[in-house]
Structure formats: C-alpha cells, structure tokens
Structure 1
Amino acid sequence: MPERPDTLLTLIVPAALEETVSDLLLDAPDIAAGFTTSLASGHGAGLELESGNERVRGQGRRVKFEIALNSNSLARLRGYLRAALPEANLYYWTLELRSCGMLS
C-alpha cells in the first residue's frame, strides 16, 4: 500500500516544458501517483524569461504543478527531475500536508 501523502510539492515550470514534465511524472507513478496543473505567470527580478515576448511584457508564462506525495519520495522525485532536465528553469517549494484524501 502506498504511503500516505504528507507533503505538497509545487513546481513552477516554463510553459514550453509542460508536456515534458507531465510525461516524466506520468512515467514515475511509484514516486508521484498523480498531479494537478494550472496556468501561472511568473514575475520578478530573478525570473528567467524564455522569449522576446516575455521580456517585453516583463512576465513569463508558467505552469504550476501540484503533487501530493510522501516526504520519503520527495528527494527521489527532485533527483529524477533534476537528472532528466538538468538545464531546465524549474522552481519548487514544499508544504506540509496535514490531511488529504477523497471526500466520498
């Protein structure tokens, strides 16, 4: 039985890498059983803008991935993504999940 998720990993990914990151996550169900995506815009001085249009607008198109997983899998998933996308402009943070599950 899989371990109960106790961590929420949020990845901020350049929009051009959405399909690649989705495929990587789908190919690793033992680490990340599922995920949610939503569109996001990146802002700020430290942001690497990917295109001329982004540089003109001063914001970057991003996709936010949210992955509920057990903290024991977190380092494996970060290492897996880092190895697969060593030059990618990915940003992440984690939050403790106090509870999660199906309502029905």
Structure 2
Amino acid sequence: NGGQPYTDEFLAELKRGATELRDQQAEVDSLKEYSKQEISKLMGQMQESYEDQIKRITEMVESELKETTTRLEQQLAEEQAARLMAEEVAQLAQMKSTKFKLG
C-alpha cells in the first residue's frame, strides 16, 4: 500500500456498508404494504450483506497483519544476521589485536 495507512481503506469500506445498510433500511421502511414474511426475507438479506462486509473487512485486516508480520520477521532475521556478522568481525579483530600484542 506504499506506506499509506490502511485505516482509510477500512473506514471507507465501513462507510459504504453503513450507507448501504441505511439505504436498505429505508427500502424496508417503505415496504409497509409488503407482508411480514417478505420484510423478514429482506431483513435477512440485509443481515447477510452486513455479515459479508464484516467478513471482507476481517480478511483485509488479516491479510495486512500477515504481510506486516512477514515483513517484520524478515527484517528481524536480517538484523540478527547482521548482528552475528558484526560479532564475528569484532571477535576476529580482538583475536588479531591479542595476537599482535603477544607476537
């Protein structure tokens, strides 16, 4: 995402869902002439739509967390390797220094 915060994307998705839910609720409210069964069916469809939206957001968050975790694990491994290399270089320098003093 080029370093951009994902919150904007999540908030936009939530706003879209809230608008959609509000529109659907208005539609249901305007259906006074429909039977309770038809209204119940529409309400069920709205609930399913809402659950799908939550599922999409959850998947987006999980995906971002996995990417971040992978990136941080890779960064940690690189830093550990660099630290080990620096320790080896320091040990070699110390050994050469000790050898030079004794020699």
TM-score of the pair, normalised by structure 2: 0.24
Structure with bigger gyration radius: 2
| TM-score normalized by the length of structure 1 | 0.24
User: Which of the two has greater strand per residue?
Assistant: 1
Per chain length, whose mean CA-contact separation is higher, i.e. which structure has more relative contact order (CA < 8 Å, sep 6+)? 1
- Which of the two has greater helix per residue? 2
